A and B are shown apart, each in its own frame.
Chain A
């Protein structure tokens, strides 16, 4: 009970962190040096596919939690595994995108777009990776540990964190990948 509340408050605080980064991105983007050329190096379609993986992982996480409450632990393990696989796909996608950008000479030190892009997606990626770690630990505890000691609140906390990671990506994807095509 207190764990879920804790995670909700923590996640709210972290969201402000990402909000500050996104606002900085937008602020710097108002000035010419941001360079429209850099933004064009992004492939919204490909990243969109990887994003779908991440969004789906939220669904699988939700299913995992629901089954946990119903005590279908085998289903929980399956759904958790699915979440981990989808989340890892996303990270893999991000990594391949970074490599593409590097090949195009878009780096953190090239211009403000590069700085802001890698910072925001980098921190997001870190949070996703941390989440994947937590998911693996959760899966491990459920498979090998004492399930009775692993409370519902803890499972819900993991779910809250994973939805947060997903939610942040909605904003990041919209601001960095979608909006430049609209404005």
Chain B
């Protein structure tokens, strides 16, 4: 099969915009680099909104019995906060980074379907706007981000909010599936000559496998949302309280999506970590094959664990035992990855850039989140702690400690490439310390609150001993995080006003994107070096110690 051009060229001329700069050009662009940046901007904006929602919630919870937010508003906020952060902050951040860098890392000048790429972005953005429009249309959804039935049916959730939720997530889902399709086809067909699958960077591996997860996990969500809309708008009875099995059906469908979704949110983050740690340890990633292989294991297993979100629903001992076992098993491949990342540090030469600091924070905080997650695999412990603040602590440790910190590592690492300027290391460190200290202050203590009996999704709590104090500590941490984020925003602002001072390879890194100029030309590559190992630039810079000359390095199949 001749799917190898010497340098991947478009098969036909892409339509050229009438202008080359300006907002209109950005709106009409189909260049993957610009679309990637738009995804990141979208995530930034929604992060501010979702973050403000969180701040308001934490203020309401600072002391027992506060009346800062009414119960209805609080319930809208916690629903919107979760939905926003997952679908309109974390997904776009990761998809944005993948959109920008996946083609570059495999030496491609564009994605397989550039117009689909643009469509995916705009549909996702529209979904986000639609979700927030619900505030003006009778009320935002207030049934939680997983919208359990029958609470989300029209007799219990009368406002249009839940319908907006469903449509908005359908749109976001279409965007994600479109992006995933693009990633899969691009990775399979557009790799530079010589780059076999076993030579692609780990970021590409994780993105590729992640795309399959998206393609298989989103359809059940779409089915569930469609059925929910039909219930709410056309009087169907899928999830009605009177339907025997209805409430359980929703949960099964949702978590069949929901569990792979959390892996969708973490795999690209794993990819970023796998790129950044080696560069700042000056040593290749430890155990490439195990990292790639364990990702496949995680992807397959992720479809076999969904019931661990339903251990308290009375499904019976057999069911629960099976999913106990599968949920514990899925911790093993992730553990292997952690060993490998830590192993990369060993005998390296570590540079404490902001990107590296976020990697370290990721390692610590994501592992804490992972360990608290394993607690939930143990069914009796889950029976005590599910739906309490212990879960809230766990999920924030993996989402922020995992996905968000890794995303920031990626942004600090790749910002020079995307914009041609270096982010200020001084403000980066201020951002880092403020946010990480605040984060741990807010969420570590929530483990205790859960153990003490505080349930989740409550707009207030009784004045039991220590509840008020711990919640107050948690709220104060949120303010530190807000300050940290402001430092980040300030960093972006001042750095964008600098001259292009980064150069194409400020970190002395080893993957293909660092050949391109900073920022890259519209046509990224005109020439690429021969690809004989996983680190083409290392081979170029150190011909005597090239990877492909090193018998220790297993290169996988030639192509």
Contact = CB atoms under 8 A, between A and B. Distances in A.
Q: State which size class the interface on A falls in.
A: 20 to 34
B556 to A, nearest CB: 22
Contacts of A9: 181, 184-185, 215
A112 to B, nearest CB: 5
Given A17-B220, A30-B245, A1 B189 contact: yes
Given A9-B181, A108-B235, A108-B236, A16 B243 contact: no
Contacts of A14: 219
A12 B216 CA distance: 8
Contact of B244 (A24, A33, A108): A33
Nearest to B1: A1
A24 B249 contact: yes
Contacts of B457: none
Nearest to B12: A149
Contacts of B215: 9, 12-13, 16
B227 interface: yes
Contacts of B226: 119, 123
B103 interface: no
B542 interface: no
A27 B215 CA distance: 23
Given A20-B224, A31-B244, A109 B219 contact: no
Given A24-B227, A31-B245, A109-B235, A2 B220 contact: no
Given A1-B3, A6-B113, A108-B230, A20 B256 contact: yes
B86 to A, nearest CB: 20
Contacts of A181: none
Contacts of B397: none
Interface string A119-135: 10001000000000000
Nearest to A115: B236
Contact of A112 (B234, B237, B252, B253): B237
Contacts of B386: none
A1 B112 CA distance: 11
B235 A20 contact: no
B342 interface: no
Contact of A28 (B177, B216, B245): B245
A141 to B, nearest CB: 16
Interface of A: 1-2, 5-6, 9-10, 12-17, 19-21, 24, 27-28, 30-33, 108-109, 111-112, 114-116, 119, 123
16 contacts: A1-B1, A1-B3, A1-B189, A5-B189, A10-B181, A14-B219, A20-B222, A28-B246, A31-B243, A31-B245, A33-B243, A114-B236, A115-B230, A115-B236, A116-B238, A123-B226
Given A13-B218, A115-B230, 18 more contacts: A2-B185, A5-B185, A5-B189, A13-B215, A16-B216, A17-B219, A17-B223, A21-B223, A24-B223, A27-B245, A33-B242, A108-B230, A109-B237, A112-B237, A114-B236, A114-B237, A115-B237, A119-B238
Leading 10 A-B pairs by shortest Cβ distance: A109-B235, A17-B219, A115-B236, A20-B223, A16-B219, A31-B244, A20-B220, A13-B215, A2-B189, A31-B245
